[in-house]
Amino acid sequence: MSRPRPLFPVLSARDKRLPVYLLGIGLQHEQEPVFRDSGIRDYQWIQCRSGTGRFKLGTAEHLIQPGMGMLLFPGQKHEYRAISGQWEVDWIIFDGSGAANLFDTVGIVGTSVYTLDAPDSLSERMRELLQAAAAPQERTLRNFACSAVLYTLLTEILQRVSVEGKETVGQQYARLKPALDYIERHYGEAIPLQALAAEIGVTPEYFCHLFKKTTGVRPMSYVNQVRVNKSKELLLDIPQLGMEEIARRVGFESSSYYGALFKKLERVTPGAFRQSGGKP
């Protein structure tokens, strides 16, 4: 079975204003030796399909085997080559103003090597990206479609990468899921921290650490955001419902505190939100 040919989309100035855009893609690629003294100009994701390679970044060397990937940032010197005969990889080259911000959400700020959770799922997404890049559409529309699939691929990569045996972002959220589900069921009641910690079998102190590390916010801040969001539904669905009753239904003891918190989070009062029909 022949290998798919690499594709390098032609992009317009408009395409390059997309948050992320595809510059090249190759699947089932027999990797040749690469040495980049000045690094790569854009971003590159390389995922091992079969064989073994050696990746060198600075003085550190890594063995790259199936189920592993390399995320290369612009301008960082590196080299890689096969060490077991044929080394087959999938790769994409991409860029965009949103790329760095996307990686920063999980603390990725430079070139790294990762072990992958469910690499076959990422391989399937890369096949979808190749199909989008090869689709017989008008060029600009094709590049918009590629950007959408690429963004989905990158967010899946961020959920599935692990460094040195640490949990992936996806695994961290899965671990928190019982507590998140508890919040969804009980947002209208008092929610003690101890109850949330008990849902995943840890101490309240460790729960706070894990929750902040995973979501970027403290547990009670998340609870309050859920309550405010639920109150938006009541504001719009039941126009005659007063603010005190809405505050009570979503778990706030004080309507004044609810109003102040709503304005802090949404930059409008609950009443103004209702009057606007929820439009910004």
Question: Residue 141 has what pLDDT?
Answer: 81
CA-closest candidate to residue 46, choices 10, 21, 83, 80: 80
Question: Residue 172 has what pLDDT?
Answer: 80
| C-beta of residue 119 within 8 angstroms of C-beta of residue 67 | yes
CA distance 152 to 115: 19
Question: Residue 135 has what pLDDT?
Answer: 85
Question: Residue 165 has what pLDDT?
Answer: 56
Question: Residue 1 has what pLDDT?
Answer: 57
Sign of CA dihedral 220, 224, 225, 227: positive
User: Which amino acid belongs to residue 222?
Assistant: Y
The model's pLDDT over 122-147, given as tens digits with 9 standing for 90+, comes to 999 999 999 999 987 665 588 999 99
pTM more than 0.75: no
| C-beta of residue 94 within 8 angstroms of C-beta of residue 42 | yes
| C-beta of residue 235 within 8 angstroms of C-beta of residue 246 | yes
Per-residue pLDDT of the chain (280 residues; tens, 9 = 90+): 577 889 999 898 999 999 999 999 999 999 999 999 999 999 999 999 999 999 999 888 999 999 999 999 999 999 999 997 889 999 999 999 999 999 888 778 889 898 888 889 999 999 999 999 998 766 558 899 999 999 999 999 888 876 555 666 777 888 899 999 999 999 999 999 999 999 999 999 999 998 988 888 899 999 999 999 999 999 999 999 999 999 999 999 999 999 999 999 999 999 999 988 877 6
Question: Residue 159 has what pLDDT?
Answer: 84
| C-beta of residue 22 within 8 angstroms of C-beta of residue 143 | yes
CATH 1.10.10.60 is held by the domain 169-276: yes
Which string of DSSP letters, residue by residue, matches the chain? -PPPPPB-----TTGGGSSSEEEEEEEEEEPPPEEETT-BSSEEEEEEEES-EEEEETTEEEEE-TTEEEEEPBT--EEEEESSS--EEEEEEEE-TTHHHHHHTTT--S-EEEEESSHHHHHHHHHHHHHHHHS-S-HHHHHHHHHHHHHHHHHHHHHHEESTTPPPHHHHHHHHHHHHHHHHHHTTS---HHHHHHHHTS-HHHHHHHHHHHHSS-HHHHHHHHHHHHHHHHHHH-TT--HHHHHHHTT-S-HHHHHHHHHHHHSS-HHHHHHTTT--
Per-domain boundaries in the chain? 15-162, 169-276
Identical fold between 15-162 and 169-276: no
What is the second-level CATH architecture of the domain 15-162? Sandwich (2.60)
CA distance 227 to 247: 9
